[in-house]
Amino acid sequence: MNANRILRCFPLIAGLLLGLLSSSSFAITWDLIGIAPKPIATGIKEVDLHQTVAVITVDLLKEITAIHFKADEKGIAELNGLKSETYSNVAEGWIKVTGWCYSINSSLGTNYANEAYFTSQQDHLRWFYGYAYFTDGKWVGYCLPWVNKNSRN
């Protein structure tokens, strides 16, 4: 039995399979990780590769009504109450900065999100809540994931 005959016999199944294959083959995957190990949200989206990561991110977030966010051309400022903040202890000489970081295909973004682009519809975008730490006159870490294993959110 050739492929055309199978497609004629099962048009609904064939259409569903082709739709699944095309959406996963030609769309980025993405997730949002807060302070809990479980993602806040995940998805698949076909994107315009000429748009910046920032523009695409805002579009994604607008589609999810359960997420409350503040974002601008540089990235996410706040998402579901997790916002960019700075903590410091001048006497002890340390600074801790929290905020939203992104990676594409597990590589940390080195530019603001409005300066970054996807290179393929098969890229994976991850936004995660992270922190940077300054002590003893130097930055010890940058965009380190802040995951609280006891959190349920």
- Tens of pLDDT, residues 22-55: 444 579 999 999 999 899 999 999 999 999 999 9
Mean pLDDT of the residues in the chain:
83
Q: Give the CA count within 13 Å in the CB-facing half-sphere of 132.
A: 12
Give yes or no for residue 123 having a pLDDT over 80.
Answer: yes
Higher pLDDT, 19 or 143: 143
For residue 1, give Cα distances in angstroms to 4, 10, 11, 16: 8, 13, 15, 20
Residue of 32 and 19 predicted with greater confidence: 32
Q: Distance (Å, rounded) from C-alpha 27 to C-alpha 85?
A: 33
- pTM of structure: 0.77
Asked if pLDDT for residue 130 goes beyond 80, the answer is yes
Q: Is the pLDDT of residue 86 over 60?
A: yes
Long-range contacts of 89-93 (CB under 8 A, 24+ apart): 93/135, 93/136, 93/137
